[in-house]
């Protein structure tokens, strides 16, 4: 049996560059009220860059939220709400790895934390990579390295790779293209 649930208020608590923080008041069928945190995210895109020999280019970068370096697929926030994910993925590929591609294909779309955030990440596969040059933001320090799928799976299952978009992207890529 489905209950009637209705948001009766959304109050902005903090406006950020990529995310806005809200407090929502929700009413259920029997007039009970609950308070929920909600994070509104502009959206993002990620890319699995595949070299001609089948390796996947990864980026290692510092993540302030974890206070450590992480190994991830290239990704970034949309420049504006509604920007096509493929444009963002193409831009981030070149900015972070120094490669570009005219051959991007949609792989999957993920919602990272549905309990409190609407972040949506479209993930693409890039092939036929063309050497270009990195164009990092002033606060980005990124190392680029190519790995085999087996090496990346070992890093996932050992806990070295914990980033949800990266795990989702790599395992979806493997299932779709490597079997």
CA 137 from chain center: how many Å?
18
Q: Tokens in use for 49?
A: 């860059």
Residue 123 near residue 167, CB atoms below 8 Å: no
Give the Cα separation of 113 and 5 in Å (integer).
Answer: 20
Predicted structure pTM score:
0.92
Q: Which of 101-105, 135-139, 158-162 has the lowest mean pLDDT?
A: 135-139
- Domain range annotation of the chain: 5-40, 43-110+120-177
**Residue 88, φ and ψ in degrees, nearest 5:** -65, -45
* Nearest in space to 48 (alpha carbons), one of 121, 119, 132, 154: 121
Q: What is the mean pLDDT of residues 136-144?
A: 82
User: pLDDT tier at 28 (50, 70, 90 boundaries)?
Assistant: confident
Q: What is the mean pLDDT of residues 14-24?
A: 94
> Which H helix or E strand runs over 119?
none
Architecture of domain 43-110+120-177: Alpha-Beta Complex (3.90)
Residue 128 near residue 103, CB atoms below 8 Å: yes
pLDDT 10s digits, 48-103: 999 999 999 999 999 999 999 999 999 999 999 999 999 999 999 999 999 999 99
> Which H helix or E strand runs over 21?
strand 19-28
Give the Cα separation of 64 and 129 in Å (integer).
Answer: 30
For residues 158 and 136, the model is more confident at 158
């Amino acid at each position: 049996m489905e209950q009637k649930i209705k948001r009766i208020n959304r109050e902005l608590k903090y406006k950020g560059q990529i995310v806005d923080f809200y407090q929502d008041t929700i009413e259920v069928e029997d007039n009970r009220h609950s308070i929920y945190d909600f994070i509104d995210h502009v959206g993002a895109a990620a890319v699995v860059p595949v070299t001609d020999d089948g390796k996947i280019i990864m980026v290692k970068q510092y993540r302030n939220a974890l206070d450590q370096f992480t190994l991830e697929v290239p990704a970034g926030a949309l420049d504006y709400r509604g920007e096509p994910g493929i444009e963002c993925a193409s831009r981030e590929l070149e900015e972070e790895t120094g490669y570009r591609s005219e051959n991007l294909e949609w792989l999957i779309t993920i919602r990272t934390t549905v309990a409190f955030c609407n972040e949506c990440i479209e993930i693409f596969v890039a092939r036929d990579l063309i050497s270009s040059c990195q164009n990092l933001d002033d606060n980005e320090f990124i190392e680029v390295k190519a790995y085999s799928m087996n090496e990346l799976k070992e890093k996932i299952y050992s806990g070295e790779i914990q980033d949800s978009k990266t795990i989702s992207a790599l395992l979806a890529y493997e299932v779709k293209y490597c079997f």
